[in-house]
Amino acid sequence: MNANLFPPKSAKTRVVVVDDSALVRSLLAEIINRQSDMQCVGTASDPLVARDMIRELNPDVITLDVEMPRMDGIDFLSRLMRLRPMPVVMVSTLTERGADVTLRALELGAVDFVAKPKIGLANGLQRLADDITEKLRSAAGARVRRLAPGAVLGAHASTASTATTASTATTAAKAAQPQPAAVPRLGRSDSDTVIFIGASTGGTEATRVVLSQLPEDCPAVLITQHMPPGFTRSYAQRLDSQCRLQVKEAADGDLVLPGRAYVAPGGQHLSIERGGGQRAPYIARVRDGDPVNRHKPSVEVLFESAARVVGRNALAVMLTGMGADGAQAMRTMRDAGSYNLCQDEASCVVFGMPREAIARGAAHQVLALSQIAAALVERLRCSAGLALQAR
């Protein structure tokens, strides 16, 4: 056996860059090699070259463009995650113009993504250097799982244009996604209770898993998922097509109603305030502002408002993600009377935010992703029973 087939792991994170643009390959390699803990061990201009390079160099993580010659990135990603799963960060102009393609990539197992700027590519990528390298570090330590063969149906179609790629990806995602199993209704509409979800790396899929298992008469759900502008509307639409709840991108002044879920817009903070009357005692607030914990939207902002406004009528869920955004505010929520769930390490893509929340004593339960929705429903049923007894 060739001794170079699996070179020994070094202390540095080994990255392979896959992009059809020579300029982007050069810029990303330069950004990566400036980091003391990273090394760009190879660059590839198309997936077929990348395939051989991955076999030879055994990198810790790869960056992957979407639209490339000989095989598009979505097709390559689906094959990679089925045959040789490894951490992948999508880096492409196409991902910003075609959010559906990015979301499809995340469904197929990509850990995260960075959108290349539309103009001023060289300067733009340099401005994104910290974001790129942070996501590569996080991805290198992420848990990736082998993609089931059935999940890649429709992913191998070659496309000739951005619009066609996005359309194909959306159709493929819907075809590959099983319809949610029937969940018994709660039997009562509760406008006082609100569920709050915070997530980052790996959270787009984790949030979908939770929401798809909630009944249509569930209390309102407010979600902060770390995403840049231009993606959250498509993400909300995708969730809406796959869940019983009505899901939308939050707008300032939205009535927070049972049976609906609201996703924080990329680049803006989401919070909750009182107002709206008896039918809807809460409204959503969407505002600009400085990043909090380096994020906008920030889970900290959402959870802090939940503690202040909703108090003991709140349920909070912290899903997979890097960093500590929202951890302290989740503890504040618990102190205000909320009931809190954290995703466990084994089912997280990145066990950062849940770990920090647990360390602060914020969690009542630590559960596998597959158990979180059922635990929420059980808690809601128990709370409804107690409320009826009290009358």
pLDDT in tens, 234-254: 999 999 999 999 999 999 999
pTM of the model: 0.87
Query: Between 123 and 202, where is the model more confident?
Result: 202
Which among 60, 325, 344, 347 is annotated as catalytic? 325
Active site annotation includes 325: yes
Tokens 């500590």 sit on residue: 324
Residue 110 has pLDDT above 50, yes or no: yes
Query: Between 372 and 8, where is the model more confident?
Result: 372
Residues in the chain: 391
Which among 78, 200, 234, 347 is annotated as catalytic? 200
Question: 165 pLDDT band (50/70/90 cuts)?
Answer: very low
Least reliable range by pLDDT among 51-60, 176-185, 299-308? 176-185
Active site annotation includes 226: yes
Least reliable range by pLDDT among 5-9, 186-190, 334-338? 5-9
Active site annotation includes 191: no
Question: 179 pLDDT band (50/70/90 cuts)?
Answer: low
Question: 166 pLDDT band (50/70/90 cuts)?
Answer: very low
Which among 46, 75, 138, 226 is annotated as catalytic? 226
The whole-number average pLDDT for the span 62-68 is 88
Residue 288 has pLDDT above 50, yes or no: yes
Neighbours of 51 (CB within 10 A): 18
Q: What pLDDT shows up at residue 386? A: 47
Q: What's at 131, amino acid-wise?
A: D
Task: Find, among 315, 284, 277, 276, the residue nearest to 301 by Cα.
Answer: 284
In this predicted model, what pLDDT tens digit does every residue of 358-385 receive, in sequence order? 999 999 999 999 999 999 999 999 876 6
Residue 65 has pLDDT above 70, yes or no: yes
Q: What pLDDT shows up at residue 52? A: 95
Query: Between 247 and 228, where is the model more confident?
Result: 247
> How many Å separate Cα 312 from the centre of its chain?
27
Task: Give residues with Cβ within 8 angstroms of 280, minimum separation 6.
Answer: 191, 255, 256, 257
First to last CA, the chain: 74
Provide the b/e sequence for 31-43 (b: ≥16 CB within 10 Å): bbeebeebbbbbb
pLDDT > 90: what percent of the chain?
68
Both tokens of 144, joined, read 């990736």
Residue 56 has pLDDT above 60, yes or no: yes
Question: 172 pLDDT band (50/70/90 cuts)?
Answer: very low
